[in-house]
């Protein structure tokens, strides 16, 4: 068989120095088809059937989580329901329930923290555990991974499965979870890493898409194994700078991904239903809802934004975007709405066309360039200090009595216009210090304070004697009691 000649540039730079820490122990937990699995656990009628969790009840709804059974037909996250139906006519659409998935997330993190204090949630369905300082505590980390799986079955149920990867760094541990799904358990070590990489394509690596693949092929790197053994100099050349250093570290057991970062930006967006598109008032109310959602997040994180972007996507593939740089940082939803409306009015006066029409498919608001409340500079002649204090007081009341217990008059027209939604990205909003944000764990209903006692039962899990719970009958009895309590 003819062999492809390795370019001279590759052989000249391929002098890899494997000097990173191979003794670190990182465990990555990736929940399998998470939202769909939660629905199957809660509803026995959905078990072992192809289901797709959708954002809203419509034929063109986005499937944000196909079940394991649906994936066998080729269904993928992000497909439209109509596309999935072509692949799998028997698909069962299930409307998303974000508070329920957050509740499961809390249960999962509570289990993980029984084994390790250093737990970093990476998304609603992923978490990474740094066991490096526990090397003298545990003898065999594959045994620990199996115990975690067993404990998750008790706390969450047998249909909520996970794949666990073990490796010397977070990236390789995540990569290990992709090797065996569902319900996998793979450990990548210095001894077997080349064997695993030799079976993969470049695009199998998280972060390597077609554009990066093309860059690497250009300089003669054709697979992950060659990427691992390339030098930093060659990778800097391929990626155009420090990103090349990061890839060298990742594939040679160095750690570049296990860090906690603050917010660089926040966004909120929704796909509109047919009924919402037909009403301009509903679309304007949706805009208020999006701004209000971002306001709530900024208040919780004690930040103010200095930049604002609003975008509208239409069914014909066109879009309209506008960007606003704020002279005074703001976290007020009505201010954000005002600035967006000003930009829209300016455009409509010139073009003589309505931006909010029945062709709108999606609306989104993004904010960035944050300043903390400690660094806010107020004018002595402005009432912004009073407004900011009132806003904090309003959310304090919402926290105590439920998110719909108090509202501004401008918000009343848009009640229930925007359903709660959930994404796969950051879950920083779900945490307040060392505790969980109860505001995001309740359903969007009036009188939520009365229901919150039930939520606390779900969040505050009891201390479990894990040795006792190795007995299967005792585990099943505990699971039954937990379901009755919740």
pLDDT digits (tens, 9 = 90+) for 433-461: 445 555 455 444 333 333 333 333 333 33
Res 345: pLDDT? 93
pLDDT of the residue at 317: 86
Which residues are CB-neighbours of 70 under 8 A, at least 6 positions away?
36, 50, 51, 52, 84, 88, 91
pTM: 0.63
Who has greater pLDDT, 298 or 419?
298
Summarize pLDDT for 33-74 with one digit per residue, the tens.
Answer: 999 999 999 999 999 999 999 988 888 788 999 999 999 999
CA neighbor of 321 nearest in space, from 305, 306, 307:
307
Q: Tell me what pLDDT residue 351 has.
A: 87
CATH of span 1-20+190-260 = 1.10.150.20
Of 86, 42, 38, nearest to 64 by C-alpha is: 38
- Calculate mean pLDDT across residues 377-383: 55
What pLDDT sits at residue 443?
45
User: CA 209, CA 389: separation in Å to the nearest integer?
Assistant: 46
Span 271-300, average pLDDT: 88
Question: For position 278, what pLDDT does the model report?
Answer: 86
Would you state the pLDDT for residue 472?
45
Q: Which residues of the chain does CATH 1.10.150.20 include?
A: 1-20+190-260
Q: How far apart are CA 459 and CA 486, in angstroms?
A: 10
Statement: residue 7 has pLDDT above 60: no
Greater pLDDT, 369 or 22: 369
Long-range (24+ apart) CB contacts under 8 A made by 346-350 are 347/320, 347/322
Does CATH place domain 265-415 in 3.20.20.70?
A: no
Partnered with residue 121 across adjacent β-strands are 127
Instruction: Examine the pLDDT at 158 and tell me if it is beyond 70.
Output: yes
User: Mean pLDDT in the chain?
Assistant: 80
When mean pLDDT is compared over 186-195, 231-240, 261-270, the highest value belongs to 186-195
Annotation says 126 is catalytic: yes
Predicted pLDDT of residue 462: 37
Give the model confidence (pLDDT) of 216-260 as tens digits: 999 999 999 999 999 999 998 888 888 888 899 999 998 887 665
Contacts of 268 (CB under 8 A, 6+ apart): 290, 291, 293, 294, 364, 365, 366
Residues of the chain with CATH 3.30.1490.100: 265-415
The active-site residue out of 126, 255, 295, 411 is: 126
């Amino acid at each position: 068989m003819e062999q492809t000649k390795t370019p001279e540039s590759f052989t000249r730079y391929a002098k890899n120095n494997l000097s990173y820490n191979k003794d670190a122990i990182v465990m990555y937990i990736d929940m399998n088809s998470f939202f769909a699995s939660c629905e199957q656990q809660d509803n026995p009628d959905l078990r072992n059937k192809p289901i797709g969790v959708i954002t809203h009840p419509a034929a063109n709804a986005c499937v944000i989580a196909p079940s394991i059974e649906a994936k066998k037909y080729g269904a993928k996250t992000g497909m439209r329901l109509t596309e999935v139906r072509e692949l799998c006519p028997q698909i069962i659409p299930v409307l998303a329930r974000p508070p329920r998935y957050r509740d499961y997330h809390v249960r999962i993190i509570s289990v993980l923290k029984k084994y390790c204090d250093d737990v970093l949630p990476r998304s609603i369905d992923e978490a990474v555990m740094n066991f490096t300082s526990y090397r003298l505590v545990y003898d065999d980390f594959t045994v620990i991974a199996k115990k975690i799986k067993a404990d998750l079955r008790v706390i969450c149920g047998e249909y909520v499965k996970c794949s666990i990867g073990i490796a010397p760094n977070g990236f390789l541990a995540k990569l290990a979870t992709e090797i065996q799904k569902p319900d996998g358990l793979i450990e990548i070590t210095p001894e077997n890493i080349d064997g695993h990489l030799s079976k993969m394509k470049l695009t199998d690596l998280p972060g390597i898409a077609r554009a990066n693949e093309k860059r690497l092929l250009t300089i003669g790197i054709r697979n992950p194994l060659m990427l691992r053994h390339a030098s930093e100099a060659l990778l800097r050349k391929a990626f155009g700078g420090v990103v090349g250093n990061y890839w060298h570290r990742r594939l040679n057991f160095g750690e570049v991904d296990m860090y906690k970062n603050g917010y660089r930006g926040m966004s909120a967006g929704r796909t509109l239903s047919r009924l919402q598109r037909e009403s301009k008032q509903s679309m304007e109310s949706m805009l208020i809802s999006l701004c209000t959602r971002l306001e709530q997040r900024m208040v919780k994180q004690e930040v103010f934004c200095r930049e604002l972007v609003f975008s509208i996507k239409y069914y014909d593939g066109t879009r309209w975007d506008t960007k606003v740089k704020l002279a005074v940082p703001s976290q007020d939803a009505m201010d954000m709405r005002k600035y967006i409306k000003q930009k829209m009015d300016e455009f409509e006066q010139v073009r003589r066309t309505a931006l909010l029409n029945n062709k709108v498919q999606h609306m989104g608001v993004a904010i960035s360039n944050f300043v903390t409340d400690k660094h806010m500079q107020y004018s002595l002649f402005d009432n912004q200090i009073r407004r900011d204090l009132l806003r904090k007081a309003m959310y304090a009341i919402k926290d105590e009595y439920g998110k719909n217990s108090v509202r501004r008059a401008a918000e009343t027209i848009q009640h229930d216009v925007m359903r709660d939604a959930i994404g796969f990205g950051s879950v920083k909003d779900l945490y307040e210090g060392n505790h969980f944000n109860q505001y995001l764990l309740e359903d969007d209903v009036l009188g939520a304070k009365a229901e919150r006692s039930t939520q606390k039962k779900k969040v505050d899990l009891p201390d479990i004697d894990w040795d006792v719970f190795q007995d299967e009958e005792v585990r099943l009895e505990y699971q039954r009691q937990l379901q009755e309590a919740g």
